[in-house]
Structure 1
Amino acid sequence: MNRPIDARGAARRALLITSTALAAGAWLGTRVAVAQPNVTTPAAPGKNGPKRVVVAGGALTEIVYALGAQDRMIANDLTSLYPEAATRLPKIGYLRTLSAEGVLSLRPDLLLAGAEAGPPNVLSQIAAAGVPVERFVHGYSAERVLDNIRAVATALRVPHDGTRVASRFTADWLRARDEIEQRYGIARRPRVLFILGHTGNQVMVAGHDTAAHAMLAYAGAQNALRGFTGYRPLTAEAAVAAQPDVLLTTTTGPTPTDPAATLLAQPGLANTPAGRAKRVVSFDALYLLGFGPRLPQAVADLARRVHAA
């Protein structure tokens, strides 16, 4: 939900400039394309905003908590894993495979639907039943996170909390940006291979236009794989040819297996510079790829770990 820049726009303009510089700067590699929002929102009921909110998207759940409006959230989806209190709310299933009947049975007066929420026909059915649906779009940038914070605050009718959270996010982001530039701005950018799936027989790796690619650029690293968008399977030959310095992967919740051991057992990965040196870095998936309010901390942590590795 975009609005014209007003008196509050100075911080936003600064964020936009620095965010663009990070994504497009020479030492940070390629640009990160950001889709423009296309959000349509019916008016929420009641003077003080919606009281029964359902959220489909882990990053949106984090924003609701950051705004201090968690008492309005009656349910969320299976990707809503932070903060811990969010995991104890009723679940509407996985955000890509929502059920209109399941959501409507909760009698919500607002659905916050993340970019991956769907299927689209289910969201349309929910809206047709009279439930306002706030839809968000893809975008892997600090500017998009700031837009989402303000959009959620507007939908919940808590503008002052939106200003507070947006200001804090902006300050944290500028601080993280400056720290990364000062520490690693002239350093060699490590080649990092991001691996999405590291179980079973198929390893999926990230190309351009992915959250992982954007995070690596912000952290002053470079994606070891180029020439494609999205995710694709990795062959042993491609892994060796990529010559990564670091292997990066994610976990979701407690895992009984060691990500490093699992990755290095995959064909080809053990024969890379990262594999021979056992340089494997792992993060919680929502923290690393969620592009929520914790983005500044996640980028700073990623930079420290991949450069140290």
Structure 2
Amino acid sequence: MGKVTVKDASRIVPLGGDIAQTVYALGLASNVVGVDTSGAVLPESKGKPTFGNSRSLNSEGILAQRPTVAIGSASVGPRSAVDQLKAAGVPIVLVPDSAKPEDAITRITTIATALGVPDKGKTLADRTAGEIATAKAKGAQATTKPRVAFLYIRGQANLYQIGGKGLGPDSMITAAGGIDTGTELGVQMSAALTPEAMVAAKPDVILVFQKGLESVGGVDGVLKLPGVAQTPAGQNRKVVAMDDLELGGGGPTAGVALNKLVDLLHG
């Protein structure tokens, strides 16, 4: 991720929902000419063209918007699409992937500087840093230490996985004062959900994306997944859901989202 010079930020393409959140929070919504599918859910994106998700970008769709700059995380792809944008002369600013809530601060600063609004970036980064610190302190003061299993669920695709180390929710769970049971079991990123894994995890809380919860018909659907009903969380119907962008923790809402997770886990 070498130095990229951005001479014109009049037509911005954010490649990711948390990137779009950041650009909007910097007051540049009117400069955004298109978003990926994860950014399309944001209110400010209404009416803007979309072009695939950040891992399967449609370079032709992006170039059709005549962008003067594209911004994304280091993991955007496919590589061929990124190369096509570069070959067309579009400056691409890549920021590190978010591994923990505090990474949002550096990402905000980097994006703001690249787009020529460093002062707004500092204000937003300082506010976000304060919100993250407050939420982490709240989690540290909690009298409970719940065991949490993050389940990645997509019912339409019959995709059911348990998350672990390296996946965004892992750092959020830890920062909120919980124990990520997938990480404890040695899961790297994610693994297939099995009855054996759930019984071994012994979660007090099942954490899912809101869309995942809806894809299996709500809490009752989650309880029917392999091994879930046999866990403390299943027996107590302790299933909590958050928005995909909230649990990613890579944008300016990282602190607010972390505070919400603290309440959900310890409430």
Please, what TM-score do these two structures have when normalized by structure 1? 0.80
> Of 127, 147, 150, which residue of structure 2 is paired with 1:191?
147
Deviation of the 1:208 alpha carbon: 0.8
* Paired amino acid for 1:282: A
Question: CA, structure 1 residues 221+281, in 2 after alignment: closer, same or farther (shift >3 Å)?
Answer: same
Question: CA, structure 1 residues 115+239, in 2 after alignment: closer, same or farther (shift >3 Å)?
Answer: same
* Paired amino acid for 2:245: L
Corresponding residue for residue 293 of structure 1: 252
Deviation of the 1:264 alpha carbon: 0.4
Deviation of the 1:137 alpha carbon: 2.4
Local SS of the residue matching 1:164: helix
Whole-angstrom distance in 2 between the partners of 1:159 and 1:220: 33
Corresponding residue for residue 262 of structure 2: 303
**Alignment of 1:98 onto 2:57:** yes
* Paired amino acid for 1:299: L
Deviation of the 1:256 alpha carbon: 7.2
Local SS of the residue matching 1:300: helix
Question: CA, structure 1 residues 221+151, in 2 after alignment: closer, same or farther (shift >3 Å)?
Answer: same
Corresponding residue for residue 13 of structure 1: none
Q: Is the 8 A contact 2:154 2:215 kept in 1?
A: no
**Alignment of 1:134 onto 2:97:** no
> Of 204, 226, 232, which residue of structure 1 is paired with 2:191?
232
Whole-angstrom distance in 1 between the partners of 2:70 and 2:195: 43
Whole-angstrom distance in 2 between the partners of 1:67 and 1:39: 23
* Paired amino acid for 2:178: A
Q: How does 1:43-122 map to 2 (within 5 A)?
A: 43-45=5-7, 49-81=8-40, 83-122=42-81
Q: Is the 8 A contact 1:81 1:286 kept in 2?
A: no
Q: Is the 8 A contact 1:66 1:293 kept in 2?
A: yes
Corresponding residue for residue 170 of structure 2: 213
Question: CA, structure 1 residues 61+128, in 2 after alignment: closer, same or farther (shift >3 Å)?
Answer: same
Q: Is the 8 A contact 1:40 1:133 kept in 2?
A: no
Q: Is the 8 A contact 2:154 2:212 kept in 1?
A: no
Whole-angstrom distance in 2 between the partners of 1:101 and 1:229: 34
Q: Is the 8 A contact 2:93 2:114 kept in 1?
A: yes
Unpaired stretches in structure 2, ≥5 consecutive residues: none
Q: Is the 8 A contact 1:110 1:133 kept in 2?
A: yes
Deviation of the 1:82 alpha carbon: 5.1
Local SS of the residue matching 1:192: strand
Local SS of the residue matching 1:65: helix
Please, what TM-score do these two structures have when normalized by structure 2? 0.92
Residue identity over aligned pairs, in percent, reads 31
Deviation of the 1:206 alpha carbon: 0.5
Q: How does 1:142-157 map to 2 (within 5 A)?
A: 142-157=101-116
Q: Is the 8 A contact 2:104 2:249 kept in 1?
A: no
Question: CA, structure 1 residues 228+39, in 2 after alignment: closer, same or farther (shift >3 Å)?
Answer: farther
* Paired amino acid for 1:112: I
- Cα RMSD after superposing both structures: 1.9
Local SS of the residue matching 2:38: coil
Corresponding residue for residue 260 of structure 1: 219
CA deviation vs aligned residue, 1:174-233 (integer Å, no higher than 9, x gap): 222222223x1xx34111111011525441111111111111100000011221211110
Q: Is the 8 A contact 2:101 2:249 kept in 1?
A: no
Whole-angstrom distance in 2 between the partners of 1:120 and 1:201: 28
Whole-angstrom distance in 1 between the partners of 2:104 and 2:75: 15
Unpaired stretches in structure 1, ≥5 consecutive residues: 1-37
Deviation of the 1:92 alpha carbon: 1.5
Whole-angstrom distance in 2 between the partners of 1:242 and 1:143: 27
- How many aligned positions are there? 264
Q: Is the 8 A contact 1:57 1:76 kept in 2?
A: yes
Deviation of the 1:272 alpha carbon: 0.9
